[in-house]
Chain A
Amino acid sequence: MIPGRFDYHRPASVEDAVALLARLGEEANILAGGHSLIPLMKTRLASPEHLVDLSGIGNLKGISVQGDEVVIGAMTTQFELISSEELGRHVPIIAETSRLIADPQIRYKGTFGGNVANGDPGNDLPALMMCLGATYAVTGPDGSREIAARDFYQGAYFTALEHGEILTAVRIPIPSPDHGYAYEKLKRKVGDYATAAAAVVITMADGKCTSASIGLTNVSETPLWASDAAAMLVGTSLDKASVDAAVAAAEAITEPASDMRGPAEYRTKMAGVMMRRALERARSRAKG
């Protein structure tokens, strides 16, 4: 449980960080909250020669409303996501999800950006970002660009982020004030990654579902956006037959690993159960 040797860098600006990463090359890793990277280093599953700590960059933190979007700085901690009144008012599912990440101590250090950017399918926020249709702002040696959350995740720990690029902020469209939402997570104990989890955001009008978006956590190599399942719900009253069909469609896109949380078959079914429960709760919250 002792990491190998590494050099530590703490740049003061995004530009410096990008320059450092370019100079240090492939053996450099970005350090945000450290709660994914440091355990990997302690077990020597990762042995970066350089750590570039982003905590000295002041303008990577913060939550603000810009037009019809909420913009969250990458180094905003998970605790700050939970305690932001403004975020709670506009996109309450973010706090609901963040409360289920690890435990309070970790959430004081663990960052929003680290959680969404490192590509761990066990993280809770990536599926939620896909569900919400978020956009990631990244800066690299060739300048800045934007990547849709739904296009970002390519495999376990593989993302659209190129080496040397830094996630700086995430833009999240503010859902309709009448929307219903829920994040349901099955886990073995406090602090655990999900056996399966589902993020659901819907809108309803006259008892019919007018829009639906569903994200699934930790049931594949990447977080999943269950777009077909969601589409099947639109126009229905979320009656049992429609929900059954949508759950089956969502289960069909899962490809979980068998691990100590249970065999693949179980985790697929739990994705379905979590989605069903999240839908029920989202519906009870939706106005209309």
Chain B
Amino acid sequence: MNDQTKIDQDRAERTEKLQGMGCKRKRVEDVRFTQGKGSYVDDLKLPGMLFGDFVRSPHAHARIKSIDTSRAKALPGVVAVLTAADLKPLGLHYMPTLAGDVQAVLAEEKVLFQNQEVAFVIAEDRYIASDATELVDVEYEALPCIVDPFRSMDPDAPILREDIKDKMEGAHGPRKHPNHIFEWQIGDKEATDAVFANADVTIKEMLVDHRTHPSPLETCQSVASFDKVKGELTLWGTFQAPHVIRTVVSLISGLPEHKIHVIAPDIGGGFGNKVGAYAGYVCSVVGSIVLGVPVKWVEDRMENLSTTSFARDYHMTTELAATKDGKIQAMRVHVLADHGAFDACADPSKWPAGFMNICTGSYDIPTAHLAVDGVYTNKASGGVAYRCSFRVTEAVFAIERAVELLAQKLGMDAAELRIKNFIKPEQFPYQSALGWEYDSGDYHTAMKKAMDTIGYKELREEQGKKREAFKRGETRELMGIGISFFTEIVGAGPSKNCDILGIAMFDSAEIRIHPTGSVIARMGTKSQGQGHETTYAQIIATEIGIPADDIMIEEGNTDTAPYGLGTYGSRSTPVAGAATAVAARKIKAKAQMIAAHMLEVHEGDLEWDVDRFRVKGLPEKFKTMKEIAWAAYNAPPPNMEPGLEAVNYYEPPNMTYPFGAYFCVMDIDVDTGVAKTRRFYALDDCGTRINPMIIEGQVHGGLTEAFACAMGQEIRYDEHGNVMGASFMDFFLPTAVETPHWETDHTVTPSPHHPIGAKGVGESPHVGGVPCFSNAVNDAYAFLGAGHIQMPHDAWRLWQVGQKLGLHN
């Protein structure tokens, strides 16, 4: 073995020991999660703790004539029953939403959706509380309800929000009708209309991204404990954004922010469901302040699915204009957004329709216009970004269905049409017609790799043969090939356009190196299962050469963690991951000065070598990070303050734009409508890859949720506003049996503006997956002249497609 080989081998060994970026480090949090040793809100037991439970409305729209709590209060073990009348003097019967609306905490004069919170019973245990909810007598006068958002702005529509009926200026401009929330427009309408007027080919379709709901294993819950002597409130809860909750609680309760301790312990999944503030949180806080003892609130599954924020419910009239050889010239979209009874969207405050304006997708579409109208209906309020960055799933669904419809009209192959219109690698950074600057991408390479791997040409040939066989009556199966080439927009975001209630959307990391060279690092984000304890440690390990196993990551305690905006919209890696790298680099810079002092050389004479600084040209003269850490505390250079720690609040200069090429092969049994996914291939480009195993896990989970949404998951209402199927009996949560096998792949196009080039991946598979499944279903029936088939694609709906096409005779 020569010297160079020895040196290389030594470096490789030291690198491997770090378990840094790029390695498949096992998730450290799983040691407790897989042994049932996680610590969730409902695990919390405090002395004297009481339990709250809601009395909920059976009606979708009704006037409350009276509420009589006397029978409930008389039940032994019941301590208090709160109604709007109790909250009103405190100004807490309504709370602000992130979207600039207000939302009833407990219904005052009217209920506006089925299962709306009407009273909060507080009792000694949850069984008594549940019994007592049946003893609260509420007299209702039922009112006509609005279920169809297209009827919300009818001249004779019943006015839903009497609390704001005279307020014709909403948070996002004038309201056109008492049931109108906002109109949001972006792009050049005139230019777009002109292109459409003269286009060779146009398509227009109403694409519905139906109402559904995130369904984390753990529902929303909180424990509030108010210390009357100290005047301090401690609030444990299922919070994806604990600091924001602290600020909001301070603003609405009047308690000073430093006397509020918000703690998000282990969280059993969020998917957007745990971004907003809910009535249960407020009622547990009020209960504890009033009673001076801790109050716990835990939502059950039916409450979760039917009340806390839903997702989607976007009705998107989508149009494309193109030349006859398939160059897309313009896009025009109008969205009718059903927000339910209150606009409780969890978007950055300036974005009432989230980042819907990413709807031009991966294509170089020079001209576009988007308008979104938000309306009220008698349904639960929302909507949150369900495993996606604000309305990006909706946007990608619109463009990826639209290009398929255009390809069909042009008689072009859907992959070929996409490639023809892709933004070219040399066009990055790319300015989109609707205002975004895409940071980086190489769509052609990704698409080619995906098509080659899946064997696209052969699949189309097979499909051609199957179609002929179907027409001859030799098979009752249809084969569909779904494609989706998505571009996400994540990592909110730059303060110039992203804030939540005025709070800029930076994020943060604080890293502290202990004298013995181990580390604690705290972030402003909050894992709900993403594996932050594993991946942030890998970033730090690579940056400062301390093994990941010696680095503890802590999140969720607002007293100890630096202020951050939380985890949603795939922002943890793009924003807090960047903060982590920058803070680590500050530490490394100080370490270099200390090492120079220790080695008695000039700083510039040192070079970094995996886990140490060494003297250039004298590799045997070095100081490891561990040695430097000891010296930092005990023998720092003269005039240098001791210690080795750093904080960074990172304001991202831009969003990041992960992308991917997905393919799905589906076989549909025409006689039952049952669709079987034969293959699903997902190529993701999320820039630099921190932990390939965690990425794969994220992709598997996101695809499974995409599969669910596309193929059956929905929150439906009947004509009376009764919520249908809000339990796991009917709500489609696929098990391992239904879930297809996932094939994953990747390309790497780093983000040019991110310190480590990472873009975020948690939501890409969901965003890209939904249209891919829907395209596969649509593609299966397309040759029979089916037209656009709306989601969800559950068996009975697909059977109805066959029925309409006369396939069952």
Contact = CB atoms under 8 A, between A and B. Distances in A.
Given A2-B130, A186-B674, A188-B712, A262 B795 contact: yes
A145 interface: no
Given A190-B735, A260-B730, A266-B800, A5 B795 contact: no
A58 interface: no
Contacts of B126: 2
A188 B713 CA distance: 11
Contact of A262 (B131, B300, B796): B796
Contact of B737 (A189, A262, A263): A189
Nearest to A4: B131
Interface string A244-287: 00000000000000001111001001100100000000000000
Interface in B120-176: 126-127, 130-131, 134
A188 B795 contact: yes
A84 B185 CA distance: 67
Contact of A260 (B302, B673, B725, B808): B725
B734 A189 contact: yes
A269 B808 contact: yes
Given A188-B794, A195-B796, A269-B808, A5 B734 contact: no
A44 to B, nearest CB: 7
Contacts of A88: none
B437 interface: no
B787 to A, nearest CB: 20
B672 A273 contact: yes
Given A2-B130, A190-B737, A195 B808 contact: no
Interface in A188-210: 188-192, 195
Interface in B697-735: 712, 716, 724-725, 729-730, 732, 734-735
Interface in B750-809: 794-796, 799-800, 808
B68 interface: no
Interface string B331-363: 000000000000000000000000000000000
Q: Which of A189, A192, A261, A273 is the most central at the interface, judged by chain B CB atoms within 10 Å of its CB?
A: A189
Contacts of A191: 735
B671 interface: yes
Contacts of B808: 269
Interface string A31-46: 0000000000001100
Given A191-B735, A260-B724, A269-B808, A1 B301 contact: yes
How many of chain B's residues touch chain A, expressed as a range? 20 to 34
A4 B279 CA distance: 24
B413 interface: no
B796 A1 contact: no
A1 B795 contact: no
B738 interface: yes
Contacts of B674: 186
B300 A1 contact: yes
A4 B130 CA distance: 8
B121 to A, nearest CB: 12
B671 A189 contact: no
A249 to B, nearest CB: 18
A269 B799 contact: yes
Given A260-B724, A260-B730, A186 B738 contact: no
B513 to A, nearest CB: 48
A5 B732 CA distance: 31
A262 B734 CA distance: 18
A270 B725 CA distance: 21
A273 B799 CA distance: 12
Contact of B795 (A4, A43, A103, A186): A186
Interface residues of A, number: 22
A129 to B, nearest CB: 24
Contacts of A273: 671-672
A188 to B, nearest CB: 7
Contacts of B134: 4, 44
Contacts of A188: 712, 732, 794-795
Contacts of A266: 673, 796, 799-800
A190 B738 CA distance: 8
Interface in B292-333: 300-302
A277 B670 CA distance: 14
A260 B800 CA distance: 14
A122 B800 CA distance: 23
A263 B127 contact: no
A189 B707 CA distance: 13
Nearest to A192: B729
Contacts of B725: 260
A195 B795 contact: yes
Interface centre among B130, B672, B729, B730 (most CB of A within 10 A): B672
A262 B796 CA distance: 5
B145 to A, nearest CB: 20
B299 to A, nearest CB: 10
Nearest to B736: A190
Nearest to A186: B672
A268 B800 CA distance: 13
B445 to A, nearest CB: 38
Contact of A261 (B300, B734, B796, B800): B796
Contacts of B732: 188-189
B700 to A, nearest CB: 18
Interface in A32-71: 43-44
A263 B734 CA distance: 22
Interface string A1-40: 1101100000000000000000000000000000000000
B302 A1 contact: yes
A157 to B, nearest CB: 17
Nearest to A44: B134
A190 B734 CA distance: 8
A70 to B, nearest CB: 30
Nearest to B53: A2
Interface in B81-135: 126-127, 130-131, 134
A2 B131 CA distance: 8
A266 B130 CA distance: 38
A154 B673 CA distance: 32
B358 to A, nearest CB: 32
A269 B734 CA distance: 25
Nearest to B731: A260
* Residue from A2, A5, A195 whose CB has the most chain B CB atoms within 10 Å: A2
B409 to A, nearest CB: 31
Contacts of B738: 189-190
A138 B724 CA distance: 38
Nearest to A39: B729
A270 B671 CA distance: 8
A269 B809 CA distance: 12
A191 B724 CA distance: 19
Residue among B302, B674, B732, B799 facing the most chain A CB atoms (10 A cut-off): B799
A235 B224 CA distance: 74
B803 to A, nearest CB: 8
A261 B673 CA distance: 12
Contacts of B671: 273
Nearest to B712: A188
30 contacts: A1-B300, A2-B126, A2-B127, A2-B300, A5-B127, A5-B131, A44-B134, A186-B672, A186-B674, A188-B712, A188-B732, A188-B794, A189-B732, A189-B734, A189-B737, A189-B738, A190-B735, A190-B737, A190-B738, A192-B729, A260-B730, A262-B794, A262-B795, A263-B796, A266-B673, A266-B796, A266-B800, A270-B672, A273-B671, A273-B672
Given A188-B795, A192-B729, A195-B795, 20 more contacts: A1-B300, A2-B126, A2-B300, A4-B134, A5-B127, A186-B674, A188-B712, A189-B732, A189-B735, A190-B735, A190-B737, A191-B735, A195-B796, A262-B795, A266-B673, A269-B799, A269-B808, A270-B799, A273-B671, A273-B672
Interface of B: 126-127, 130-131, 134, 300-302, 671-674, 712, 716, 724-725, 729-730, 732, 734-735, 737-738, 794-796, 799-800, 808
Listed from nearest, the 3 A-B pairs whose CB atoms lie closest are A262-B796, A2-B130, A1-B300
